[in-house]
Amino acid sequence: MLSLQLYMFQRLSALLMAPFVIGHLAVMIYAIQGGLSAAEILGRTQGSVLWFLFYGTFVVAVSIHGAIGLRAVAFEWGGLKGAALDGFMWLVGLGLFALGARAVWAVTFAKGAGA
Amino acid sequence: MTAEVLKVAIQRDADRVDTFDVPAYENQTVLDVVSWVQQNADPTLSYRFACRVGMCGSCAMMVNGVPRWTCRTHISKVLDGNAVTIGPLRNLPVIKDLAVDMDPFFDKWIAAEGVHHGALTRDDEIAPIDETSATRVEANAGIECINCSVCYAACDTVAGNVDYLGPAALQRAWTLLNDAKDEGRTAILDAVSGKGGCHNCHSMGSCTAYCPNDLDPMSAIAGLKRETAKNFFKRGH
Amino acid sequence: MKVAKGITSRAHPLWLAYIMHRLSGLALAIFLPLHFWVLAMAMTDPVRLDGFLHLTEEGVVKLAEFGLVFLLAIHMFGGLRLMAMEWLPWSTSQKTLAAGATAVSFCIAVLFFMRAI
């Protein structure tokens, strides 16, 4: 069940993410050449404000987008309704945000990262 | 027609299907087949029809899992070998056999503000309408809807969401929004922005794929999304 | 059997696009927590992270990786298609042309990119 507001958040977060997804795909294609290693990933991201902002914004957008998307699926296919449905949406959104923020922090500014 | 006898399976209940042998004819619609069963094999079979020429919108049924207007569907088009399965329209409560309760469908038509919002009285001049204007072309695209509920039965979003107004009602809302003679713009935009509104649509396009009159409810709903989104940026809600 | 019949009766292109979009979105949402959890190991357990990253050399994991990239790509293009359809007041043929042009240019860009690195 989508109201106009949730619909707009869903579409705007998607539009915001489109360039990030293309960037993410490009980095992936580039990064897997010759295998992946923690040192290689961290060498790119550690201490970088740019990558922090890139992945940070990406995480915020994907948390919103994923929460609203799963809400529609939980309602239509799972029969979730009312407060349970809203609770589920917030749980997904905040959960994705917490895990995502932790990961972004880990590869950029966390102390002892890649030690 | 190669088969002499058609094997016609008719859904009578959630878990009861009766199969009838129906003589095949050169010219025979799905509705003819159902009528033959009612007149010759089982007079208790309930179904609904009126005009038999694709105008009244009362004879729609599920034919081999697809919603169709049965009076304008030739049986040869849907036969699987010499067999066909006929059931009541999807997404609506069944009254008996092939007759469904259309009330939810028409209630949503009203809930989507699919009613005339006039501002003029009988004393006013008839407003001139430019048939070539962009809004009139949009309005004209949807006015041949016969309320048969085929789109409503085809839509998976309706199946998963009892509040969803559905393709026919939303298409009517879009038609009226574009009608220069209709003054209900705010009421319509509010009605289609609620929790059962146009934003629930996932553009799966089954409405447009199965509309017997070749209308395009999916694009009409996209029009509503566009208008409400524009409003969202203007008014902030 | 009943499910398969239900699907074939509405398997037209736009319905398939809808179901692909929904299933790819669902799969991505399930994968994301795992993805975040593994990346956070850079902070908590760098050695284990390297172990995970070396896994990506394995055939099965490579296949799964390809699957994820594929899911992300179809979810994005499916979504952009949806938004173009909803928000751009273009005719159907204009949209088909635009989608074709986008797909072709994306393929060329990826090919070029793969050759360049």
Number of domains observed in the structure of chain A: 1
Domain C2-116: top CATH class: mainly alpha
Beta bridge partners of B63: B66, B86
- B53-91 tens-digit pLDDT: 999 999 999 999 999 999 999 999 999 999 999 999 999
Q: How far apart are CA C4 and CA C28, in angstroms?
A: 24
Query: What pLDDT was estimated at residue B95?
Result: 97
Number of domains observed in the structure of chain B: 2
Specify whether the CB–CB gap between B209 and B156 falls below 8 A.
no
Q: Is residue A67 part of a domain?
A: yes
Q: How far apart are CA C105 and CA C112, in angstroms?
A: 10
Higher pLDDT, residue C86 or B20:
B20
**Which residue range forms the structural domain that includes residue B202?**
103-235
Q: B223 and chain A: CB distance < 8 Å anywhere?
A: no
CATH number of residue B190's parent domain: 1.10.1060.10
**Which residue range forms the structural domain that includes residue A68?**
4-25+44-108
Domain boundaries of chain C, sorted by first residue:
2-116
Range 39-58 of A in CB contact (< 8 A) with B: none
Sequence length of chain C is 117
Q: Is C35 annotated as a binding residue?
A: no
Residue entry with tokens 């879009």: B174
Q: How far apart are CA C90 and CA C100, in angstroms?
A: 15
Do B95 and B26 fall within a single domain? yes
Query: What pLDDT was estimated at residue A13?
Result: 96
Query: What pLDDT was estimated at residue B103?
Result: 97
In this prediction the ipTM stands at: 0.88
- Residue A115: pLDDT over 50: no
Q: Which of C36, C44, C57 to mutate to test the interface with A (most CBs of A within 10 A)?
A: C36
Report the residue of chain C nearest A46, measured CA to CA: C42
Q: How far is C43 from chain A (nearest CA, A)?
A: 5
Do B87 and B140 fall within a single domain? no
Q: Is residue A50 part of a domain?
A: yes
Phi-psi region of A82 (alpha: psi -120 to 50; beta: other; left: phi over 0): left
Helix (H, G, I), strand (E, B) or coil at B30: helix
Q: How far apart are CA A14 and CA C57, in angstroms?
A: 31
Which residues in chain A are closer than 8 Å to B199, comparing Cβ atoms? Answer: 2-4, 6-7
- Phi, psi dihedrals of residue B42, rounded to the nearest 5°: -145, 95
- Residue B173: pLDDT over 70: yes
Query: What pLDDT was estimated at residue B111?
Result: 97
CATH number of residue B79's parent domain: 3.10.20.30
Q: Is residue A113 part of a domain?
A: no
Query: What pLDDT was estimated at residue C7?
Result: 63
Report the residue of chain A nearest C77, measured CA to CA: A18
